[in-house]
Amino acid sequence: MKNQICILILICFVGIACVSSQQQDCNRLNLNVSSYNQAKALIKQAQFKIKEKQNMRSSGWIKRAAYYSCDGETGYLILYLDKGQNYLHQNLPLSVWKEFVNASSYGSFYNKRIRGNYQFRL
Spatial separation of the C-alpha atoms in residues 32 and 35, rounded to whole Å: 9
Question: Which alpha helices (DSSP H) does 22-78 contain, by range?
Answer: 36-45
Which uninterrupted H or E stretch holds 92? strand 86-93
Which domain covers residue 93, as residue numbers? Answer: 26-114
Residue 19: pLDDT band with limits 50, 70, 90: very low
pLDDT of 10 above 80 = no
Residue 15: predicted pLDDT? 47
Domains: count for the chain:
1
Q: Is residue 55 part of a domain?
A: yes
Question: Which alpha helices (DSSP H) does 1-122 contain, by range?
Answer: 2-21, 36-45, 94-101, 106-109
Q: Is residue 15 part of a domain?
A: no
Q: Is residue 103 part of a domain?
A: yes
Q: Is residue 70 part of a domain?
A: yes
Q: Is residue 59 part of a domain?
A: yes
Spatial separation of the C-alpha atoms in residues 22 and 96, rounded to whole Å: 30
Q: Is residue 6 part of a domain?
A: no
Q: Is residue 46 part of a domain?
A: yes
Spatial separation of the C-alpha atoms in residues 11 and 120, rounded to whole Å: 41
